[in-house]
A and B are shown apart, each in its own frame.
Chain A
Amino acid sequence: MEFNSRVPSGPIENRWENHRFEMKLVNPANKRKYDIIVVGSGLAGASAAATLGELGYNVKCFCFQDSARRAHSIAAQGGINAAKNYQNDGDSIYRLFYDTIKGGDFRSRESNVYRLAEISLNIIDQCVAQGVPFAREYGGLLANRSFGGAQVSRTFYARGQTGQQLLLGAYQALQRQVAAGRVEMFTRTEMLDLVIVDGHARGMVVRDLVTGEIHSVAAHALVLATGGYSNVFFLSTNAKGCNVTATWRAHKRGAAFANPCFTQIHPTCIPQAGEYQSKLTLMSESLRNDGRIWVPKKAGDSRRPKDIPEEDRDYYLERIYPSFGNLTPRDVASRRAKEAVDAGRGVGENRGGVCLDFRDAIQRLGQSVITERYGNLFDMYQQITGENPYEIPMRIYPAPHYTMGGLWVDYNLMSTIPGLHVIGEANFSDHGANRLGASALMQGLADGYFILPYTIADYLARTEETAVDTDHPAFKRTEQEVRERVQRLLNVNGTRSVDSFHRKLGELLWNQCGMARDASGLQDALAKIPEMREEFWNDLLVSGAGKEFNQELEKAGRVADFFEFAELMCRDALDREESCGGHFRVEHQTEEGEAKRDDENFAHVSAWEFTGVGHEPVLHKKPLEFEYVNLTQRSYK
């Protein structure tokens, strides 16, 4: 397996500029000769497809939803970061770069992150010009807020619906290209395999989710913008359809998977209410600005939280982290909540949550101020739990939310398979071991509008153009394999539903590869996953047929891939004998219980090569070099 990171050298602030000059261009008249496939229509996919179409390429864009507008980017609430320094509070490209590297616990590439910070400026310009209705001040200029513990106000937002508005901007740009005939949109179509011809990614096999037809699509290059894999845990804040299938199948065809154990657990979600729970709902992290987090001091305290007097409450974040208090970063806040619940000090159903209490804030500021700040979130909470958070403390618990790991890409966002590009959450590149709030939207749009459209041209211009169509034997072979796999799922004809298996897998991973991991738990999971996978293939029951609209069959394919992927995630977590960002190994902590990084042995990206299901994958360690940022221990005391 060949790795060439293509990271440019020279002063960091000139790298992208110089690299853009050095990259080859495709002559405008030749662009229409190139077919490009984009899989996924979220922020990264829609913005890439729209931009590539606008440039003159023939673009085919695919999504499994019924419209490009429904991709899961739509659910992002908080905002998008950009180093505009409109608030004159000392922000700069360099500061955003620095914060992102540090926030990622020094496990991302300096060059990529610097480029991201640089491009953040263009993104806001682009989105405003498209008509994204960002929040504004009375003077008519853009408003900002601080987010996720940042010391500057660099977050742009559109009420609590920033992701929705940015996605609609990208979706509208995409539909404009559809109307112009530059992009062909395939909704309700799922990628099921990648086709490689002479070592290059040249197409894919898809299933039409309405008719069930399986067919191939050929192109000169592909772009995967298929999001993250949090749903491996079954319960997460991701939309139900989010899956690892596209990236996993690309991995099986030769794309290295990087840092799969880097998952982010979001601290402020509504706890699970029962066995039937289908997903977890996130509430904006901004609640921690005024809410105080506590649990009863005594384990097993059965009084209602409201009735527990002050002296019996433990405001544990304020106690352990006096300077950051309730605003400690996501990974720290999540882990401490788990600790409290594991010790039997949780509240609510099954003692599965911690209190987020607004009593003091309401006393201090008045209920109307709290309503103004968080009214919609309070309504949402009451809608879901039936409890009034103005009177009863909210109950919250962490939930899987985002995955920093993904397919390995070079500086050009190309995977280890020539021609296969990976953008947005699906790649591993920018967030290291922990993503900062309001940075996911930034990365998706940076990749799609401003990076990939340049870098893919370089690939196309440097690669000898050969005509390949779907009659090529490689397509026929892959199509046949996909058909057999689909048939195999239908043929098991066992007794249990897809969800019942997925739920079990999720439980195992959440307990043993979730917020806190240790060697024995991971080894145990690695022993159990293959057994569970076998059970899945022996006792699965998928109703209906292959050649029809069949939601159970769709789910079955995705869960089958989660069963394979889960093993890699645990293996990576076991191999990384350190704690960093969202990856907390119980064996590696300071005396105060903080994550203990091991820069000497683990300042690298773990890129895994597939060798077969159930076979040990090959690990390639790609060292991370830090020329600009000093590696320090994060401290929030």
Chain B
Amino acid sequence: MQITLNVWRQAGPRALGRFERYTAKDVSPHMSFLEMLDVVNEELIEAGKDPIAFEHDCREGICGSCGMVINGVPHGPKPAITVCQLHMRSFNDGDEVWIEPWRAKAFPVIRDLVIDRSALDRIIEAGGYISVRSGSAPDANAIAVPKSIADTSMDAAACIGCGACVAACPNASAMLFTAAKVAHLSKLPQGQPERQQRVLNMVEQMESESFGYCTNHGACQTACPKEISIDFIAYLNRELLTATLLG
């Protein structure tokens, strides 16, 4: 297959960016999208040009490093996967593809497709944890957790922190990311003591970063490679209201 690529190139956070056009030749349908970019980069390097910078690490959909907008869709055309799990058999010979970084004020571009997502770490810092000193825990079976609650908590905890939800949202809101962590911890019995403070602090931090507000578009849920449901946003809003009234 032959694919025409239009890739966003930007030398640094303050530099002007632009699309550049490349041709990926002899693309095998078995290649992953990132392997196709590897091959393009090899050619660029050997031609003495700067390769396309993009973030990646595990290449199996769990580390959350990779992420790019492909033809307007975060992580590309297939649902429920990250871009490293996307294979070229999802494209056709002669396709033209547009590749951009996550676009959000809270995620400044570092170079090309690489962005700074440290705002997400700061939201976790604000309260995305259960305070437990190493060595001070009771026996693991001392607290029974109903299976349905453990399962729901796990559904929320599956978030990989890639930021696709922010990229997909017309407001660039980090509501789904924040909601997933609030739900993961606050649903569990272990998360009860800090429940109110957690949601208040995390939402306050989210709002102090440059994310937009949630207006229930639902684009986040569609883009999420782990299919995290916006029901958790409803849960977050309920938690926030309760904590605000009680606080």
Q: How far is the CB of A74 from chain B (nearest CB, A)?
A: 5
Binds A, one of B140-148, B167-175, B206-214, B228-236: B140-148
Q: Is the beta-carbon distance between B30 and A273 smaller than 8 angstroms?
A: yes
Task: Choose one: A75, A135, A495, A551; the contact of B150 (CB below 8 Å).
Answer: A135
Q: How far is the CB of A536 from chain B (nearest CB, A)?
A: 15
Complex CA gap A532/B38 in Å reads 22
Q: Is the beta-carbon distance between A176 and B129 smaller than 8 angstroms?
A: yes
Q: How far is the CB of A557 from chain B (nearest CB, A)?
A: 16
Q: How far is the CB of A254 from chain B (nearest CB, A)?
A: 30
Query: Which chain A residues border B145 with CB–CB below 8 Å?
Result: 136, 140
Q: Is the beta-carbon distance between B118 and A187 smaller than 8 angstroms?
A: yes
Query: Which chain B residues border A66 with CB–CB below 8 Å?
Result: 55, 65, 116-118
Q: Is the beta-carbon distance between B125 and A179 smaller than 8 angstroms?
A: yes
- Given A383-B87, A499-B42 in contact, is the A549-B114 Cβ separation under 8 Å? yes
In the complex, chain B residues 115-130 whose Cβ is within 8 Å of any chain A Cβ: 116-118, 120-121, 124-126, 128-130
Does B161 lie at the interface of the complex (its beta carbon under 8 Å from any beta carbon of A)?
yes
In the complex, chain B residues 39-61 whose Cβ is within 8 Å of any chain A Cβ: 39, 41-42, 44-46, 48-51, 53, 55-60
| Interface 0/1 of A239-276, CB less than 8 Å to B | 11100000000000000000000000000000001101
Complex CA gap A19/B151 in Å reads 41
Q: Is the beta-carbon distance between B124 and A172 smaller than 8 angstroms?
A: yes
Q: Please, which residue of chain B has its CB at the minimum distance from the CB of A178?
A: B125
Q: Is the beta-carbon distance between A386 and B87 smaller than 8 angstroms?
A: yes
Q: Is the beta-carbon distance between A552 and B51 smaller than 8 angstroms?
A: yes
Binds B, one of A124-132, A146-154, A418-426: A124-132
| Interface 0/1 of A382-402, CB less than 8 Å to B | 011110000000000000000
Query: Which chain A residues border B31 with CB–CB below 8 Å?
Result: 273-274, 276
Q: Is the beta-carbon distance between A279 and B59 smaller than 8 angstroms?
A: yes
In the complex, chain A residues 453-504 whose Cβ is within 8 Å of any chain B Cβ: 453, 495-497, 499-500
Q: Is the beta-carbon distance between A131 and B150 smaller than 8 angstroms?
A: no
Q: Is the beta-carbon distance between A142 and B190 smaller than 8 angstroms?
A: no
Query: Which chain B residues border A84 with CB–CB below 8 Å?
Result: 140-141
Task: Choose one: A70, A133, A274; the contact of B153 (CB below 8 Å).
Answer: A133
Q: Is the beta-carbon distance between B154 and A159 smaller than 8 angstroms?
A: yes
Complex CA gap A172/B65 in Å reads 18
Complex CA gap A122/B140 in Å reads 9
Q: Is the beta-carbon distance between A274 and B30 smaller than 8 angstroms?
A: yes
Task: Choose one: A65, A130, A159, A385; the contact of B129 (CB below 8 Å).
Answer: A130
Does A525 lie at the interface of the complex (its beta carbon under 8 Å from any beta carbon of B)?
no
Q: Is the beta-carbon distance between B60 and A69 smaller than 8 angstroms?
A: no
Q: Is the beta-carbon distance between A129 and B57 smaller than 8 angstroms?
A: no
Does B245 lie at the interface of the complex (its beta carbon under 8 Å from any beta carbon of A)?
no
Complex CA gap A72/B59 in Å reads 11
Complex CA gap A533/B140 in Å reads 51
Does A234 lie at the interface of the complex (its beta carbon under 8 Å from any beta carbon of B)?
no
Q: Is the beta-carbon distance between A497 and B150 smaller than 8 angstroms?
A: no
Task: Choose one: B30, B35, B85, B134; the contact of A126 (CB below 8 Å).
Answer: B134
Task: Choose one: B29, B118, B139; the contact of A125 (CB below 8 Å).
Answer: B139
Query: Which chain B residues border A552 with CB–CB below 8 Å?
Result: 45, 51
Q: Is the beta-carbon distance between A210 and B124 smaller than 8 angstroms?
A: no
Q: Is the beta-carbon distance between B35 and A281 smaller than 8 angstroms?
A: no
| Interface 0/1 of A56-73, CB less than 8 Å to B | 000000000111111010
Q: Please, which residue of chain A has its CB at the minimum distance from the CB of B47?
A: A543
Query: Which chain B residues border A68 with CB–CB below 8 Å?
Result: 121
Does A285 lie at the interface of the complex (its beta carbon under 8 Å from any beta carbon of B)?
no
Interface size on A, residues (CB 8 A): 81
Query: Which chain A residues border B157 with CB–CB below 8 Å?
Result: 133, 158, 165, 168
Does B21 lie at the interface of the complex (its beta carbon under 8 Å from any beta carbon of A)?
no
Complex CA gap A282/B138 in Å reads 35
Q: Is the beta-carbon distance between A129 and B46 smaller than 8 angstroms?
A: no
Q: How far is the CB of A237 from chain B (nearest CB, A)?
A: 8
Does B110 lie at the interface of the complex (its beta carbon under 8 Å from any beta carbon of A)?
yes
Q: Is the beta-carbon distance between A281 and B144 smaller than 8 angstroms?
A: no
In the complex, chain A residues 91-145 whose Cβ is within 8 Å of any chain B Cβ: 122, 124-131, 133-142
Does A626 lie at the interface of the complex (its beta carbon under 8 Å from any beta carbon of B)?
no
Q: Is the beta-carbon distance between B130 and A161 smaller than 8 angstroms?
A: no
Complex CA gap A129/B192 in Å reads 11
Does A449 lie at the interface of the complex (its beta carbon under 8 Å from any beta carbon of B)?
yes
Query: Which chain A residues border B48 with CB–CB below 8 Å?
Result: 541, 543
Q: Is the beta-carbon distance between B147 and A274 smaller than 8 angstroms?
A: no
Binds B, one of A32-40, A46-54, A197-205: A46-54
Query: Which chain A residues border B64 with CB–CB below 8 Å?
Result: 67, 69-70, 74
Task: Choose one: B42, B60, B89; the contact of A75 (CB below 8 Å).
Answer: B60
Does A523 lie at the interface of the complex (its beta carbon under 8 Å from any beta carbon of B)?
no
Complex CA gap A287/B29 in Å reads 26
Q: Is the beta-carbon distance between A131 and B87 smaller than 8 angstroms?
A: no
| Interface 0/1 of B89-107, CB less than 8 Å to A | 1000000000000000000
Q: Please, which residue of chain B has its CB at the minimum distance from the CB of A500?
A: B42
Q: Is the beta-carbon distance between A384 and B87 smaller than 8 angstroms?
A: yes
Q: Is the beta-carbon distance between A543 and B45 smaller than 8 angstroms?
A: yes
Query: Which chain B residues border A168 with CB–CB below 8 Å?
Result: 157
Q: How far is the CB of A534 from chain B (nearest CB, A)?
A: 20
Query: Which chain B residues border A140 with CB–CB below 8 Å?
Result: 144-147, 150
Does A3 lie at the interface of the complex (its beta carbon under 8 Å from any beta carbon of B)?
no
23 CB < 8 A contacts A-B: A67-B117, A67-B120, A68-B121, A70-B58, A75-B63, A84-B141, A122-B135, A129-B132, A130-B137, A133-B153, A133-B184, A172-B124, A175-B121, A175-B125, A178-B125, A187-B118, A239-B59, A240-B57, A282-B60, A383-B85, A386-B89, A543-B48, A551-B53
Mark A residues whose CB is within 8 Å of B: 47, 50-51, 54, 65-70, 72, 74-75, 84, 86, 122, 124-131, 133-142, 158-159, 161, 164-165, 168, 171-173, 175-176, 178-179, 185, 187, 210, 239-241, 273-274, 276-279, 281-282, 380, 383-386, 449-450, 453, 495-497, 499-500, 541, 543-544, 548-549, 551-552
Mark B residues whose CB is within 8 Å of A: 12, 28-32, 34-36, 38-39, 41-42, 44-46, 48-51, 53, 55-60, 62-65, 81, 85, 87, 89, 110-111, 114, 116-118, 120-121, 124-126, 128-141, 143-147, 150-151, 153-154, 157-158, 160-161, 184-185, 188, 190-191
The 3 closest A-B pairs by CB, nearest first: A140-B144, A129-B137, A172-B129
